[in-house]
Amino acid sequence: MLGTVVNACAIIAGCLTGLVFKGGIAEKYKETVIHAVALAVVLVGLKAAFASEALLAVILSLVIGALMGEWMDIEGRLQGLGEWLETKVPGGEGSLAKGFVTASLVFCVGSMAIVGALESGLTGNHQTLYAKAILDGIISVIFTTTMGIGVIFSAVAVFLYQGSITLTATVMKQFLTPEVVAQMTSVGGLLILTIGLNMLNVTKIRVGNMLPAIFLPLLWFIARGALPVFSF
């Protein structure tokens, strides 16, 4: 869990730094840096998306995961949580929910969050999460100057999300084969690519409702082992 704790602390530190400089950065610089970060997010997503060659598994995971997420209305619930936080934080205004939801999705979805948390749980290697902490800390500074205090609450989402994956990994080591991890990474890469496109206002896709897709390769592997009829 050490890597996840460091990651959450980096986000908090970045947010506090962003609050200090919120009034001192011109809007045009904020916009340009956000676009630069978005392009970096697109690059990270693209690189991760090619981790697996099992295209059918990735496609089915995305389609079925999207249906599950829409049914659960994950993004709507995240939005609702953000709006509830607005009522609890003085001066939250309308940007708090946006900051919380956007930052939570960017920090939680993608290969570094999944693979880093898995490495942490499986081998005790926290290096990937340390690298992610640096990246998330920088992004949280920019996000906070643009979207306000809501970004800081994403640290809780990161802690719960990555911490859960780490704890699960320690219990399910036998199922997390390189093939399964590659498929999960590919799905996560496509989702983080979409987040980058959303940040650039190219698309308006409800990425939050696709989150279940990341874990479907693991469930598929378990089902395939339990029921040979699914071994094709």
- Mind listing the pLDDT tens digit for each residue in 166-188? 888 787 777 778 888 888 888 88
Average pLDDT, the chain: 80
Task: Identify the pLDDT of residue 129.
Answer: 86
State residue 62 phi and psi, 5-degree precision: -65, -45
pLDDT in tens, 65-85: 999 989 988 878 877 776 676
Q: Is the pLDDT of residue 230 over 80?
A: no
Average pLDDT over residues 200-205: 86
> Does residue 231 form part of some domain?
no
The confidence band for 11, taking pLDDT boundaries of 50, 70 and 90, is: very high
Q: How many domains does the chain have?
A: 1
> Does residue 200 form part of some domain?
yes
> Does residue 50 form part of some domain?
yes
Distances (CA, A) of 89 to 12, 16, 120, 154: 16, 15, 33, 14
> Does residue 230 form part of some domain?
no
> 85: number of CA atoms within 13 Å, CB side?
23
> Does residue 228 form part of some domain?
no
> Does residue 227 form part of some domain?
no
> Does residue 159 form part of some domain?
yes
Domain that holds residue 50: 2-222
Task: Identify the pLDDT of residue 90.
Answer: 56
CA dist 32 and 45 (Å) reads: 20
Task: Identify the pLDDT of residue 92.
Answer: 52
Q: At what angle do helices 178-199 and 55-72 cross, to 10 degrees?
A: 60
User: What predicted TM-score, i.e. pTM, was given to this entire model?
Assistant: 0.72
Task: Identify the pLDDT of residue 94.
Answer: 54
Nearest to 185 by CA among 114, 118, 130, 119: 114
Task: Identify the pLDDT of residue 63.
Answer: 94
